[in-house]
Structures are given as structure tokens and as C-alpha cells.
Amino acid sequence: MNLTLNIWRQDGPETAGRMVTYQLADVSGDMSFLEMLDVLNESLVAKGDEPIAFDSDCREGICGMCGLMISGKAHGPVRTTTCQLHMREFRDGDTISIEPWRAEAFPVIKDLVVDRSSFDRIIQSGGFISANTGSAPEAHSVPVEKRKADRAFEAAACIGCGACVAACPNASAMLFMGAKVTHLGELPQGQPERYARVVKMVAQHDHEGFGGCTNTGACADACPKEIPLDVINTLNRDLLGALRQGR
């Protein structure tokens, strides 16, 4: 198939960017979206143009490195990661726009590559269970109710891709944070730090410049790992708990 691609090009963090149009012929439906970009890049290099920078690593939908806004949708028209999106979802003659995630807390580094280190700092602020190596009790000493274990697992499936932020009209990272708060808060091991954790994480989130959540749900619709919206509810509830404790 033949495609028209409108792609965001930006030389560096400080420079202004613009949309540039490319034509690409002979795209096969079996290609992944990123392989399509690889092919485009090969042709750009042949012409002496600098290839388009975009992030990817595992290309299996698990590392969370990839992520593009494809015609206005985070990770494109199907609910999966960009690297797992295949060109058979598009038609001959389609025009596709490709932009980076846009958020104050995700500044563009170059072209389609953004800096998501704000997510790491949210985790640094409290997204962990303090268990020094060597201090662990025997694994079977604390049974975990199956229902809670399953819910913790479901939330732990988050890959930190940032699509939730990209899709949210407020550029809020509540789904990402809610997933972590739920994962750790459902487990008995996570109880001692539960309320301190949520306050610190939300405070860091706000400090990073993410927007506030207004429960619009666009994040959960875009999430490739189908993190459910109720993790935000859990986060809210834990923050209420923290308020009650006077934190």
C-alpha cells in the first residue's frame, strides 16, 4: 500500500518543531508500524536526510519504550503498543499523522522521542516496598488472598509507556500512578507504607507538572495493558485514608 505520513520533526529540546510530509510506497500489511518507520528511515538515509528518531527496544509490547501518537490516538487505532501495531490496520492511500507524546512533564528530546524520567521520579518518591536484600522472611510466611493477588497483578501489568498521559486531556499521570498504588497497596507487604506512599507520589506527580485528573477515562481507553480505571479510584481512596490520618 502507499501512504502519506505527516511526521513531527524537531531537532532538539530547545528548537521548534514542525510537521513534515513523506510519501511511502509498497508498505506491506505484515510490517509492524515501527518496521514501516525503519523502511522510511532507510530511504531517508539513502537520500542523505537524517532518519527520524523514535524510541523502541523490545518490540514485543512489554518494555514500554515505544509510544507514538498516531493520527491523534495514543499507540494508534488498536489497543496495543505501537511496536505491536501492524500495518494491516491501515488502508492504501491513508494519511497518517505521527506525533510524540505531548506533556509538559514529557519534554521532547528529538523528533518523536520524549523524556519520561518524570515517571522514574514518581517511583523514587515512594513507588516501592522498603525491603532490603537479605531482610526477607520466608515467602510462604505471608499468604495473600487470591483475589487481592490477582488485582495486584492486574495493576502491576503497567509497562510505564506513558500512553495514559498522552491520551489524557489534562496530561495527568493518574492511571500510571494508580496502577502502582494499587499493585503495592493490595498486598500485605505494601501495607506499612501505603498512605505515606500515595501522598508522596501524588505530590511528586504534581511537582512534575502533570495535570489533575478529571475522571474522563481516556487514559484507560488508551492503555495497552488494559489497566482499569478503578486503580484511580483506589488511589483516591488511599489519599482520603491519608487525609484521615492527618498526613
Partner 1 sequence: MDPVATTTLLQGESTARRTSVFMKFLMAVTGALFVLFVLMHMYGNLKILWGTEAFDEYAEHLRTLLTPILPYSGFLWLFRAVLVLALLVHAYAAFTLWSRANGARPQRYAVKSAAKGAVRSKMMRWGGVALLAFIAFHLIQFTIVKVNFNGNFSAAQLHGSTGELVIASFQLWWVTLIYIIAMGALAMHLFHGVWSAAQTLGWTNSAGSRRLAYATAHVVAAVVALGFLVPPLAIFFRLVK
Partner 2 sequence: MSETIPTVAGDGSIVAGLYRVGDPVEDTSAPAGPIDKKWTTRKFDAHLVNPANRRKLSVIIVGTGLAGGAAAATLGEAGYHVKSFCYQDSPRRAHSIAAQGGINAAKNYKEDGDSTYRLFYDTVKGGDYRARETNVYRLAEVSANIIDQCVAQGVPFAREYGGLLDNRSFGGVQVSRTFYARGQTGQQLLIGAYQALERQVAAGTVTAYTRHEMLELIVVDGRARGIIARDMVTGEIETHLADVVVLASGGYGNVFFLSTNAMGSNVTATWRAHRKGAYFANPCYTQIHPTCIPVSGDHQSKLTLMSESLRNDGRIWVPKRAEDCEKDPRQIPEEDRDYYLERIYPSFGNLVPRDIASRQAKNVCDEGRGVGPKVGDFRRGVYLDFTDALQRMSAEAVAEKYGNLLDMYQRITGDNPYEVPMRIYPAVHYTMGGLWVDYDLQSNLPGLFVAGEANFSDHGANRLGASALMQGLADGYFVLPNTIRDYLSHAPYPTVSPDHPEVVAARAAVQERVDTLLAINGDRTVDSFHKELGHIMWEYCGMERSEEGLRKGIELIRGLRAEFWRNVRVLGAADTLNQSLEKAGRVADFLELGELMCIDALHRRESCGGHFRAESQTDDGEAKRDDANFRYVAAWEFGGSPDGGDTGTPVLHKEDLVYDAIALKERSYK
Residues lying near ligand F3S in the complex (CB under 6 A) are found at: 168, 170, 172, 174-175, 213-219, 232
Distance from C-alpha of 37 to C-alpha of 180, rounded to nearest angstrom: 32
Question: Which range of residues in 35-43, 136-144, 154-162, 218-226 is near partner 1 by CB under 8 A?
Answer: 218-226
Which positions from 107 through 136 interact with ligand FES, judged by CB under 6 A?
none
Q: Which of 2, 4, 23, 215 binds ligand HEM (CB under 6 A)?
A: 215
What is the identity of the amino acid at 86?
H
Q: Which does 124 bind (CB under 5 to 8 A by kind): ligand HEM, ligand F3S, partner 1, none?
A: partner 1
Q: Which of 36, 52, 69, 184 binds partner 1 (CB under 8 A)?
A: 69
CB closer to partner 1, 72 vs 136 = 72
The contacts of residue 21 (CB under 8 Å, 6+ apart) are 4, 5, 6, 7
Which positions from 162 through 201 interact with ligand SF4, judged by CB under 6 A?
162-164, 175-176, 179
Q: Which does 39 bind (CB under 5 to 8 A by kind): partner 1, ligand FES, ligand HEM, none?
A: none
CB closer to partner 1, 97 vs 189 = 97
Whether residue 174 contacts residue 213, with contact meaning beta carbons closer than 8 Å, is answered with: yes
